[in-house]
Every structure is written in structure tokens, then in C-alpha cells.
A and B are shown apart, each in its own frame.
Chain A
């Protein structure tokens, strides 16, 4: 392999040598190894990861998260523990006809998965199969992990490429509507020693295609595990994607996720995310609206408890005129938890008549909790409607009085309003089963939530 001698900037810290040891030890064993183009691609990305280093909090979009502390440590690749069907069935979503790929610590669980009977023009495969069968197509789709902003190459995308194991490859041809939802269920079983997994999701919706994707991340055992996910969504002209994302991580686990989304003319995206578990969860989204008349709705809710940490970074690029984007994010932090929301809307010079909105409302439920909210607009067009708002508050006294005047005790009223604050976002899930799972976890996290269980 090639080593690039470059001193990392203070904005990055050099990776621990264990990464290089692991990369050498596993070379030849990862899916598709031995294919020259793929080996070269992995090496190139690993070299760049080594040269760039792990971002510190001096990198603007890592400001709120000290990722090096948990990610720049010696880790092995996560093995595949046994998981029984009956333990995971309760996380199934999308209805009885949903097609489903299940991964355990990043490894495809073929015996639990079901993607048969696909209509013409639809491909749903595990990425390791694609890496073996058609590495050229995979590499063409993944490209060079384009840099997201001026801060340089994306270290975690590079690390993902170097150790890429599995994930999902989804293609829906032009004009094809996939009625039945696809669920990607990622199960994480933490381990006693530090391990990591590097899944990837590649979704390509052709022009006029329609699909509903459910992405579930579920911790089935406490313990160490870093999941470093990279997801690429290409949504064609007049295509429509509904994307439900549920994160129910276990104690001890870390999740670092990068979503890169590109949408074509008149395309539509409705994405709803609930982050309700995991020691550290980082959700980064970089969305480009590449055509006109695009509708993009990004909904999210996060509710860290104990010492959990959630970091949301969203960048929306309005490149062409007449698009509409809407970010609706709500957060609650309890105990000693921390959360951050940094959302930025770029309106390019061409993008006249842009409608771009962003609302981030937060509630602190403990004196020791912390939420940082950073809404930003960067506008180069002159005929636009853009707004952003961030709030951080406590329960509304008028609403509390209203509920108490109907007979609810103060504690019951507080529980109900806390739940309701977050539940408003959950109602935006496209799939009812995902909504229900999220509501259950939300109730479990709400102080006094035991009184609310009969709501579900």
C-alpha cells in the first residue's frame, strides 16, 4: 500500500497505528478482495484516511462532538454473533409484505432476509454480493467519496471505503413504482472489546421511480461497537422516496452516519428520523437539490438520556430555482445528555424563488443536560423565501394548566406534554410500525412514561 507522508493539521488528529495494522491484516479477506480495481480503491481511501486523520472539534461541523475519543482507538472488525429470529422480529416494519435485508454487526444475515419476488426493473442486493459480482458498477456508483465542503476529505467515508463489508444496493428503474416497503434492519450486538463495522447503503431511483425505504438501527446487546455508515441516495427526476429512519442503539455503541442525497428535477423526498438510543449518535446529511421544483422534507427528533450524545448536521444545497425544502427537527435532552443540531441552507445564485425553511425546537429536561442549536442560511439569490428558527425551552405553562384543569396531575401533565413534544415528529413517519416502535421507545424514555403506555 501507499503511504502519504503529510503532517495532519491540528484540525485532525493522526489515526492510531492499529488502523494500519488492521487494514493490513484484513486485506484479502474483505468482500471483493483480489479484484485489482477494488483493492486499489480501498487502498487509496485508506491512505487518504491516514493522511487526513480523525477530525477534532476544531473542524466546524465536528464542533459539538469529540469523535476521536471513541473512534480513534484500536478496534477490531466486528464479528457476526448469532441472533435468533424471535429476538429481532419485533423490529420488523413495513407490513407483512415488506422486503427486508438484515445485517448483524455489518454482516448480512441471509437466512433472516427476504428480498424475493421483485418486479422487473428492481434490484435489491446485499452490497457484499455486488462487490463480488459487479465491483465496477459499485465503484462507478460510489465514485471517489466526493468532499463535502472545504474542510477536505471525509475521514469516515474514507474509512468506510477502506473496510467496506456489506450493506444494501437498491436500484429502481425509470418509471417503476415499488409498492412494498424495503426495510434495512441493522442489528448491533455490542462486544466486550472495541469493534467497528462499515456498512454502506446505495439507493438509485430512476426517473419517475417510487419507493419507500425503512432504515432501522437496533442495538440488541450492550457493549462496544462503532457503526460507520455511509449512504448515497440518487433520486431521479420526478422520482419519489419516502425514507423512515429509526435509531434504537444500545448502551456502549457509537453510530457515525453520513447521508449524501442528490435529487433531480421535480423529485420528492420525505425523510423522518428518530434518534432514541446509543451512547453517541452522529447523523450527517448533505443534500443537493439538482433540479427545479423539488420537494424535500426532513423531519427529525432526538431524545438522548443518561450520558448519551446526539449530533445532527444537515446541509441543504438549493442549486436550482423553484425548490422547496423544509427541515423540522425537535430535540429533548434529559439527565446529563447532550445534543446538537447544526443545519445550514445554501441557496445558490441560480436558485431563485427558493422556499427553504428550518425549525429546530428543543426542550431541556434537566439542569445538567445541554443542547446546542446552530441554524444557518447562506443565500446568493435575491428572490427567495427562507426562514430558520431555533428555540430551547421548557414545558408550556399554559398547556400544563390546560391539562391539569381537565384533571391530570402535574406529573401526568408533564409526562404527556414531554411525550407530545417529541411525538409530533413521529407522526410524520410513513410506516405505522416504525411510528409505533418509536412511540414505545419514546414512552420508555419519558419521565413518568409508565402512565402513558396505554396510549400505544
Chain B
């Protein structure tokens, strides 16, 4: 589904590379966890996949279902089925949450040549999904993320994920700012979306999230590259030894 080969990325306007020859193959149905210390390039990777401005790809390639991702605008990537649940979801005062989600869903459907959903069908689905993720109905009427707590913002990202049903979900530090109960409901929401056609990349600092969203593959990233890959047990090893211990050097 997603093939990243020897990817090299710099911050625009700076010479310093942040990602230095990163390769990853993600197949449908798989859940990959990417762990790593601060500054290892995890978040940069997620932004590059989603198509955010401000990064310069200086080498390598990213293909998504055979298409060159680097040639696509962020909305084209969304239409192709990529979704990034952001570490810091943006507040948009003045736009109601439910309206925004319906616009987004219909924009995706339009781009895919599918019929738009009716307002009634949309609201029915939205209410059901919100309830499952533990989002109270009044949050749907409130402005997008405006005045939401950290945990509420993360739940709202998962609600968007559940409504937009992408093929590839990238979760960037979805666990940060969540207490243990919120972590559980958010993880349940994510797990409900696991399917043989859908892949996930879960980016996190801590092993804790992976107790709930159990990955098929774990990659440890440091200094812009994958330093070690393994199964779910690698996360536990990392928890015990720390990045320094596992990678055998100051990470």
C-alpha cells in the first residue's frame, strides 16, 4: 500500500536533513508503530506523508497504491485515502464541528466520484460514531476544537478518522495529553477501524499506547532513520532498556 524508499527530507530553507534515508513498506491490514526520541524525525515523517508545506524532499520516493505521493496536494492525498491524526489539532473558531466534518466527507466523496451523503444520514452516522468514542453531542455543535481540552481534541481527531474512513491512518502522538480512560476509549475507536484493507502507522514516544493498539511491526527511529525493526515485543524491550540501551549509544 505504502512504499517509502530512501527518503531524505530537510526543513525548507535549512540545509540540515531531518530524515536521512528512511525506508518502510506498509501492507493493507498492517499496523506499524514508529517509536523514537524527540527530534528523531517521526513527526516530520507524518507531515511529509500528509503533504504539509515547509519540507523539502531531497531524495528517495514515496508511493501510495502505485501513485507518486510527492506529486499530490494534501487534499488529493486525503481523497486517495490518507489521514493524519495530528499531534496538535488546529482550533477553528467560527466553524461548527459537524459542518466541517460533513464538508470534508462530501469533498472526499466528490473527489472520488461518489454521491454526497444527505444531511440526515450524515448526522445519524456522526452521532453513532461520536457516542462510540465518548464525544458528547454538544461537541458536534461547537466550533472545531475551539476551547477543547487536549483529550477532547484527540478524541475529535479519532471521530474524524472514524467518519472519513481512510485507507491509511497515521496517528501522530495520539496518546499525548490523554489520561488512562481517554486512552482506552480512543484506542477502542482506533481498533474498531482495524480491517484487512486498512493500514495504520502509529507514531508514539511511549509503549503504553501499544498495549491498547497492538502493532504488527515496531520500528525504532533515531536521527532520521529506522535503527531497529521487530514485532510488538520490541516495544517492550524498548520500555525496559530505553532508547540508549536498545540502540547502544546516546540517542
Contacts and interface: CB of A to CB of B under 8 A. Distances in A.
Interface stretch (A258-266, A365-373, A410-418): A410-418
Interface string A410-446: 1011001101111110110000000000000000000
B75 A416 contact: no
Q: Give the 9 A-B residue pairs with the shortest CB-CB distance, closest first.
A: A420-B94, A423-B94, A404-B74, A406-B104, A407-B78, A424-B94, A402-B90, A407-B107, A407-B108
Interface string A29-65: 0000000000000000000000000000000000000
B94 A408 contact: no
Interface of B: 50-53, 73-75, 77-79, 83-84, 86, 89-90, 92-96, 99-100, 103-105, 107-108, 111, 143, 160, 164
Interface stretch (A188-196, A342-350, A393-401): A393-401
A401 B104 contact: no
B75 to A, nearest CB: 5
Contacts, number: 83
Given A402-B86, A406-B104, A412-B103, 18 more contacts: A396-B90, A397-B53, A398-B90, A402-B92, A404-B74, A404-B75, A404-B78, A405-B50, A405-B74, A405-B83, A406-B78, A407-B111, A409-B107, A417-B92, A420-B92, A420-B94, A424-B93, A455-B99
28 contacts: A396-B90, A397-B53, A399-B92, A401-B50, A401-B74, A402-B89, A402-B90, A403-B100, A403-B104, A404-B74, A404-B78, A405-B51, A406-B100, A407-B104, A407-B105, A408-B103, A408-B104, A408-B107, A409-B75, A416-B100, A420-B93, A420-B95, A421-B94, A424-B93, A424-B143, A426-B94, A427-B143, A455-B99
Contact of B53 (A401, A402, A416): A401
A332 to B, nearest CB: 12
Interface in A91-117: none
Contacts of A403: 92, 100, 104
A420 to B, nearest CB: 3
Given A406-B164, A407-B107, A408-B75, A401 B94 contact: no
Given A401-B52, A401-B74, A412-B107, A407 B92 contact: no
Please tell me the size bucket of the interface on A.
20 to 34
A401 B77 CA distance: 12
A420 B93 CA distance: 6
Contacts of A406: 78, 83, 100, 104, 107, 160, 164
A429 to B, nearest CB: 13
Nearest to A419: B94
A399 B50 CA distance: 14
Contacts of B77: 405
A422 B52 CA distance: 25
Given A401-B52, A406-B78, A407-B75, A416 B93 contact: no
Contacts of A419: 94-95
B107 to A, nearest CB: 4
Contacts of A408: 75, 103-104, 107
- Most B CB contacts (10 A, CB to CB) among A403, A409, A410, A416 go to A403
> Residue among B94, B99, B111, B160 with the most chain A CB within 10 A?
B94
B53 A405 contact: no
A394 to B, nearest CB: 14
Nearest to B108: A407
Contacts of B95: 416, 419-420, 423, 455
